[in-house]
């Protein structure tokens, strides 16, 4: 006899925003039984509780394709468990952890370990990213295909660029045969001498700056190599006007190039340094850029040049972020402000529709990671986020589930909030509370 109990829920009158099917429906009723969506008129549904979804949005499969979970090796900053809890709290149903852990995720065994960790925790789907080069040292390619066979969805040396053009060319050519994307953290290290954006504010504070060109020269190189190889290139955390020009050029040439921005680059400029001054909470790589660049990034998302919004969730221990601007590590803890940050930057000012913003948090990352999902249709896994678009809330890092509380969004008012998260038919967060009792065995 099976010990599994049938579970289900009805959601009434919800606005379904489904970028996988291009459907934005007002006041829909839907049902979920045993982990999958069912038809709203399924007679079985009547046995299950109903939830009033009026005034809420239902968005399937939000994936944050750029997070740092610090495990193995730096568990004082974050663990897989705390990172997964932060994801559920932020309304995220899938994550792609970057491989810059200690040791680096550069073998099939480590990829399997990540997938198993994600399944055991059961809060969020985990799509590992393997290193491009062995130990991310930039000297020799890692075992890309064997990692791919075990479930790596893309490859990156994030935290560092793939400096050698020859290796980048090989990685793009090779990964295209699986096929998988190579995600580059574009940064010409000989130009990137600073801790913040090169400009008037850096000068006023006497902090060394890094120009946008440090990123853009490598984005242009990568675009040329994507054209040469036919490979799939994804540019992480784009933060420069000239990078946008390169990406636009690549798209006009039909190169397989996609790009990503973070909410912090959309919400803040280097003017944040005037407020936070020498507090390294603003220290992030790439740095917060000028107001003009921020504007250009917003318009590039609107124009469709940017395919993905991802957090670059980079938690650090408070003791590390309490060091001087020079000594503190780069990074912002972003998983719990990803959804609200994207809405605040783009939907609240009327720049973009909810559908187009949600596309960059759902179907966009799915495409880059080679994932398929049919949308909210009977039989599809019930992975969803309920969003209250009217909720205005103040970012208080003390409320984060992440161990990392480092964010310059602290104190800011965001508009829109994830109020519930469901993965495979089970609530992982409701009303701001993560529910991880008895979860496990995601498939």
Distance, CA of 315 to chain centre = 14
- Smallest gap from Cβ 219 to ligand DOR, in A, equals 14
- The DSSP annotation for 3-14 comes to -PPP-EEEEEEE
Give the pair of three-digit tokens for residue 434: 């993560």
Give just the sign of the alpha carbon dihedral 286, 287, 288, 292: negative
- Smallest gap from Cβ 150 to ligand DOR, in A, equals 23
- Smallest gap from Cβ 349 to ligand DOR, in A, equals 26
Choice between 287 and 354, CB closer to ligand DOR: 287
Residues tagged active-site: 312
Site string for ligand DOR, 269-288 (x = CB under 6 A): ---------------xx---
Give the pair of three-digit tokens for residue 208: 């060394």
Site string for ligand DOR, 228-267 (x = CB under 6 A): ----------------------------------------
- Smallest gap from Cβ 437 to ligand DOR, in A, equals 31
Sorted by sequence, the CB contacts under 8 Å of residue 386 that are 6+ apart come out as 11, 14, 53, 56, 57, 58, 418, 419, 420, 421
Q: What is the C-alpha separation between 79 and 58, in angstroms, rounded?
A: 29
When asked if residue 74 is in the footprint of ligand DOR (CB under 6 A), the reply is no
Choice between 53 and 159, CB closer to ligand DOR: 159
- Please choose, out of 10-18, 140-148, 326-334, 343-351, the segment that lies near ligand DOR by the rule CB under 6 A: 326-334
Q: Which of 185, 232, 264, 294 binds ligand DOR (CB under 6 A)?
A: 185
Choice between 20 and 400, CB closer to ligand DOR: 400
Give just the sign of the alpha carbon dihedral 122, 84, 10, 381: negative
Sorted by sequence, the CB contacts under 8 Å of residue 313 that are 6+ apart come out as 64, 66, 67, 68, 83, 86, 332, 333, 334, 335, 338, 402, 404
- The DSSP annotation for 43-101 comes to GGGGGS-EEE-TT-EEEE--EEEEE---TTT-TTT--HHHHHHHHHHHT-SEEEE-S-S
Choice between 53 and 209, CB closer to ligand DOR: 209
Choice between 100 and 269, CB closer to ligand DOR: 100
Taking CB under 6 A as the criterion, which residues in 3-32 touch ligand DOR? none
- Smallest gap from Cβ 70 to ligand DOR, in A, equals 8
When asked if residue 314 is in the footprint of ligand DOR (CB under 6 A), the reply is yes
Choice between 354 and 397, CB closer to ligand DOR: 397
Beta-strand pair 257-261/232-235 = parallel
- Please choose, out of 273-281, 328-336, 356-364, 392-400, the segment that lies near ligand DOR by the rule CB under 6 A: 328-336
- Smallest gap from Cβ 32 to ligand DOR, in A, equals 36
Q: What is the C-alpha separation between 39 and 50, in angstroms, rounded?
A: 14
Beta-strand pair 384-394/57-60 = antiparallel
When asked if residue 331 is in the footprint of ligand DOR (CB under 6 A), the reply is yes
Q: Which of 79, 93, 100, 107 binds ligand DOR (CB under 6 A)?
A: 100
- Smallest gap from Cβ 425 to ligand DOR, in A, equals 33
Site string for ligand DOR, 193-212 (x = CB under 6 A): --------------------
Q: What is the C-alpha separation between 81 and 78, in angstroms, rounded?
A: 8
Place of tokens 């009327």: 350
Sorted by sequence, the CB contacts under 8 Å of residue 332 that are 6+ apart come out as 262, 264, 281, 284, 312, 313, 314, 406, 407, 408, 409
- Smallest gap from Cβ 320 to ligand DOR, in A, equals 10
Give just the sign of the alpha carbon dihedral 20, 21, 27, 28: negative
Chain residues binding ligand DOR by CB under 6 A are 68, 100, 158-159, 185, 284-285, 312, 314, 329-331
């Amino acid at each position: 006899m099976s010990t599994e109990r049938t579970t289900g829920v009805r959601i009434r009158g919800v606005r379904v925003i489904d970028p996988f099917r291009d459907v934005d429906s007002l006041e829909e009723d839907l049902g979920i039984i045993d982990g999958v969506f069912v038809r709203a008129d399924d007679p079985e549904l009547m046995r299950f509780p109903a939830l009033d979804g009026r005034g809420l949005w239902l968005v399937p499969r939000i994936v944050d394709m750029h997070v740092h979970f610090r495990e193995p090796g730096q568990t004082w900053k974050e663990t897989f468990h705390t990172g997964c809890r932060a994801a559920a709290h932020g309304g995220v149903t899938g994550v792609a952890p970057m491989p810059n852990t200690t040791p680096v995720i550069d073998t099939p065994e480590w990829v399997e370990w990540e997938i198993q960790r994600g399944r055991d925790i059961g809060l969020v789907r985990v799509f590992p990213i393997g290193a491009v080069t062995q130990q991310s040292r930039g000297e020799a390619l890692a075992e890309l295909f064997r990692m791919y066979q075990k479930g790596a969805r893309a490859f990156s040396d994030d935290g560092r660029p793939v400096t050698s053009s020859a290796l980048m060319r090989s990685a793009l050519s090779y990964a295209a045969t699986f096929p998988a994307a190579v995600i580059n953290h574009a940064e010409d290290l000989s130009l990137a001498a600073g801790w913040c954006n090169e400009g008037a504010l850096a000068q006023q504070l006497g902090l060394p700056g890094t120009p946008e060109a440090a990123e853009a020269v490598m984005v242009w190189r990568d675009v040329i190599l994507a054209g040469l190889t036919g490979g799939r290139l994804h540019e992480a955390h784009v933060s420069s006007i000239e990078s946008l020009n390169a990406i636009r050029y690549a798209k006009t040439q039909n190169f397989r190039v996609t790009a990503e921005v973070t909410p912090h680059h959309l919400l803040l400029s280097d003017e944040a340094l005037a407020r936070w001054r020498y507090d390294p909470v603003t220290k992030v790589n790439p740095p917060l850029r000028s107001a003009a660049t921020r504007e250009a990034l917003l318009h590039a998302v609107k124009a469709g040049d940017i395919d993905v919004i991802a957090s670059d969730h980079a938690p650090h221990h408070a003791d590390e972020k309490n060091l001087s601007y020079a000594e503190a590590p780069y990074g912002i803890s972003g998983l719990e402000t990803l959804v609200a940050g994207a809405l605040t930057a783009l939907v609240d000012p009327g720049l973009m529709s909810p559908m187009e913003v949600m596309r960059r948090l759902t179907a966009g990352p799915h495409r880059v990671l080679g994932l398929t999902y049919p949308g909210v249709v009977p039989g599809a896994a019930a992975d969803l986020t309920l969003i209250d678009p009217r909720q205005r809330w103040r970012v208080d890092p003390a409320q984060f589930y992440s161990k990392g509380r480092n964010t310059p969004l602290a104190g800011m008012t965001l508009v829109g909030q994830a109020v519930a998260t469901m993965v495979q038919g089970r609530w992982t967060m409701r009303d701001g509370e993560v529910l991880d009792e008895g979860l496990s065995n995601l498939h």
